[in-house]
A and B are shown apart, each in its own frame.
Chain A
Amino acid sequence: MSRWGMVIDLEKCTGCQACTTACQVENNRLPGENWQDVLFYAEGEYPSGKFSWLPRPCMHCENPSCREVCPTGATFKDKDGFVLVDWEKCIGCKYCMVACPYGVRFYAEEKQPVQPDIRSVFPGDGDKMWNPPWQMPEARRDPKHGVGIQPTNVVSKCTFCYHRVSKAPAGTVDLDPSNPALRDFVPACVVTCAPSARYFGDLDTPTSEVRRLIAEKRGTRLKEETGNRPQVYYLAGEQSSIPETRSTRIKS
């Protein structure tokens, strides 16, 4: 048993959104439905204003509020720390979307901001929402873990690339994308990250790279006050910081 976690070094991240794109293609997402997004923040005013960004996947919380509220058990936490949605059980009540403090869940059955609606350009068959031109191999699809082409009327979210990570050789602690033997098992966003700002490994192993970074570089988690205890840690360092607010209030 592992407890997979991610470390994102904000001093290294360039905000290039390659992770966003890699995730889109890897997981057959709709345009704009960014399981892995990079959020941009403007704080202060010229000439002392600050522009910052924050890559944001699902936090795969230790105490996920999305799971707590799900009335069917469709959202569950797997023994290895993944928080997943069973697309065969989800009823599309969207309570989990309301309850996730990080806004990382999606209901794709909505009016698409970009027209023509790509779902009508590549219409799905059976209960599949669409039929994208790029597709995950059939053998890797796994609706019980929210992996692959999404069926209609269910909620989706980042799986930490469950279909890759869960196939890693037993006992692996650090999923280092620079190791060719492990590369296929590393989450797509981590593999793609050009400045290597992302690390993925077992949070329960004291000697893992992720644990070392969290300890040495003072890893922080978002919105600790909610008690969700994310398994995604940020390293803010001296050159960067966690954006100060999500508030839309105009300061007086």
Chain B
Amino acid sequence: MTTRPNSQGLLGLIDFGKKPDGVTILMMLGGAILAGVGLAYVLLQLVLNGHSAFNTSSNVAWGAPIAFYLFFLLTSSGLSVIASLDTVFGLKVFYPVAKRCMWLSITTLVAGFSILALEIGHPFRMIWAIPMGMQFHSPMWWMGVFYSIDLVLLCVKFYLMHTGEWHTKRAHYVSIASFTICILAPGTLGLVFGMMAMRPAWYSPVMPMYFILTGFATATAFILFITSLYEHEDKQAEVKRLYTSVLPRLFFVSLLAVIAMRFGQIITGLWSNYEGMEAHWHALRSPLFHVEIWLGFVLPALLMASESRRQYRPFQALAALLFGVGIFFARLELLIVGQVVPLFKGSFGGYAEYWPSATEWMLVPAGFGIFYVLYGAGNWLLRLSETSEQ
């Protein structure tokens, strides 16, 4: 089933002869419109108003853009972990989605980086200042290092898969390296928040695990949702088993783990008297929180709880979509919870106010647009359904 490229060079790896199907065309067109509108709006606002187009302040220094890029970066790592389940651990049942996961991982990472570049004060200075800084005591420095290596390794691994190298020694080494980085990178991103002892609502050694786990759960939701758009792919028995049994089960189990962890966080947060932890009570009064918990976590878990519902593709797609929305708002909720109790601002300010501005919201279509265009292009030109012969 694997076809080898027969012409030389990178362009030779692309199947220009193939016609894109309807869903793919829709995805690319829709994505281009979203990205165009989103980026045009954000860039225009940044030129006209600078970063004051964002509703962040000296109290809430990190706003929605950070939550959006967290969403994409963590999903990317989760997808790469799924792709590694076969290439590193030999779980061959995942072969049919491995290549698609790799491409999804690259595209979500690029979308996340694009959002980050628009959020940061000096994106170009970052390119030299972070490597030259050598600030190895900063979790953010490590995050930069790991995610940069991640992108390179993802591309190398995808290239090897694309040229038919699934089982060679070097493919195996690249896979192991890529898997390791895909645990380290979201783990370090978790540390960026988890190490902040002065922000008690974030401070937790469990944060890296929470980031890795939620990234993995989002990745299973992503792949379930995306593959549900391509019914024609599950003709073979083992592929069908993957989509109707293995992946939904994995999704259900990871959902339960996320729920258990999140409830643990909430209960300890509400119980603690430690100053700053009152943010959890504040969260309880926020609609975001309830969208996250009930609509985003509990409802999908109920939908996936029975074997018969799990096999039903529309239910899978619905549960995946709901979880995607839930985890998206969960990222925003996490950002706010750590900053809502102001640090040393006197007792007349109350909680810090924050809601994303239009410019910040427009980063969402921008990010998803970039993702759809790239993913659609990959689906059209890069034989993403290809699997290993072995």
Residues of A within 8 A of B (CB): 33, 39-43, 54, 56, 65, 68-74, 89-95, 97-107, 109-112, 117, 152-154, 222-223, 226-227, 243, 245-249
Question: Could you show 6 A-B contacts with beta carbons less than 8 Å apart?
Answer: A40-B347, A65-B198, A93-B140, A98-B338, A99-B196, A103-B342
Contact of B347 among A102, A112, A246 (CB under 8 A): A246
Q: Chain A's nearest CB lies how many Å from the CB of B356?
A: 12
Measured between beta carbons, the chain B residues less than 8 angstroms from A109 are 50-52, 121
Contacts A71-B135, A95-B138, A109-B52; A43 near B347 (Cβ below 8 A): yes
Q: From residue A15, how far is it (CB to closest CB) to chain B in Å?
A: 11
Report the bound CA distance from A249 to B52 in whole Å: 30
Q: Which residues of B contact A98 (CB under 8 A)?
A: 61-62, 196, 199, 338-339
| Minimum distance in angstroms from A28 CB to a CB of chain B | 17
CB closest residue in chain B, given A228 = B198
Using A92-B120, A95-B140, A101-B343 as known contacts, list a sample of 11 further A-B pairs with CB atoms less than 8 Å apart, ordered by residue number in A. Answer: A33-B58, A40-B347, A43-B347, A70-B133, A71-B138, A72-B126, A73-B135, A109-B50, A223-B198, A246-B347, A248-B278
Asked if A110 meets B58 with Cβ closer than 8 Å, knowing A39-B344, A90-B122, A247-B341, the reply is yes
Instruction: State the 4 A-B residue pairs at the shortest beta-carbon distance, nearest first.
Output: A92-B121, A153-B121, A103-B343, A39-B346
For residue B130, which residues in chain A have a CB less than 8 angstroms away from its CB? 71-72, 91
Q: Mark B314-339, 1 if CB is under 8 A from A, else 0.
A: 00000000000000000000000011
Contact between chains at A105 and B133 (CB < 8 Å): no
CB pair B61–A94 under 8 Å, yes or no, is: yes
* Secondary structure call for the B interface: loop
Contact residues in B for A92 (Cβ distance below 8 Å): 51, 120-122
B68 to chain A, nearest CB (A): 15
Q: Which residues of A lie under 8 Å from residue B61 when comparing CB positions?
A: 94, 97-98, 107
Per a CB cutoff under 8 Å, which of B129, B196, B346 touches A89? B129
Name which residue of chain A comes closest to B342, CB basis.
Answer: A103
> At the interface, is chain A mostly helix, strand, loop or mixed?
loop
B282, closest chain A residue (CB): A248
Q: Which of B54, B123, B129 contacts A72 (CB 8 A)?
A: B129
Knowing A72-B135, A97-B58, the reply to whether A243 touches B347 (Cβ < 8 A) is: yes
* B137 and A68 within 8 A (CB): yes
Task: Give the residues from 47 to 98 in chain B that come closer than 8 angstroms, CB to CB, to chain A.
Answer: 50-52, 54-59, 61-62
Q: How far apart are the CA atoms of A153 and B276 in the complex, in Å?
A: 28
Residues in B with CB closer than 8 Å to A247 are 275-276, 278, 341
Could you say which of B62, B123, B129 has the most chain A C-beta atoms within 10 Å of its C-beta? B129
B197 located at the interface, meaning its Cβ lies under 8 Å from any Cβ of chain A in the complex: yes
Given contacts A69-B139, A152-B50, contact A110 B129 (CB under 8 A): no
Q: How far is the CB of B378 from chain A (nearest CB, A)?
A: 30
Separation of A117 and B52 alpha carbons in the complex (Å): 10
**Chain A residues with CB below 8 A from B341, complex form:** 246-248
Query: Complex formed: what's the CA distance from A172 to B116 in Å?
Result: 46
Q: Tell whether B192 is near chain A: CB-to-CB under 8 Å.
A: yes
**Cβ of B125: which chain A residues have Cβ within 8 Å of it?**
89, 91
* CA gap between A49 and B387 in the complex, in Å: 73
Q: Are B58 and A107 in contact (CB under 8 A)?
A: yes
Q: In the complex the two chains form, what is the Cα distance from A54 to B129 in whole Å? A: 36
Asked whether any CB of chain A lies closer than 8 Å to the CB of B263, the reply is no
Given A245-B275, A248-B278, A226 and B197 touching (CB < 8 A)?
Answer: yes
Asked whether any CB of chain A lies closer than 8 Å to the CB of B230, the reply is no
A110-B51, A110-B57, A248-B351 given; A103·B135 CB < 8 A? no
CA distance A210 to B386 in the complex (A): 73
In the complex, what's the smallest C-beta–C-beta distance from B145 to chain A, in angstroms?
10
Task: Name which of B55, B56, B125, B346 has the most chain A CB atoms within 10 A of its CB.
Answer: B346
How many whole Å from B387's CB to the nearest CB in chain A? 40
A246 surroundings in chain B (CB, below 8 A): 275, 341-345, 347
| Cross-chain contact A91 with B126 (CB below 8 angstroms) | yes
A154 touching B343 by the CB < 8 A rule? no
Contacts of B144 in A (CB 8 A): 71
A55 to chain B, nearest CB (A): 11
CA distance A210 to B63 in the complex (A): 40
For residue B62, which residues in chain A have a CB less than 8 angstroms away from its CB? 94, 98
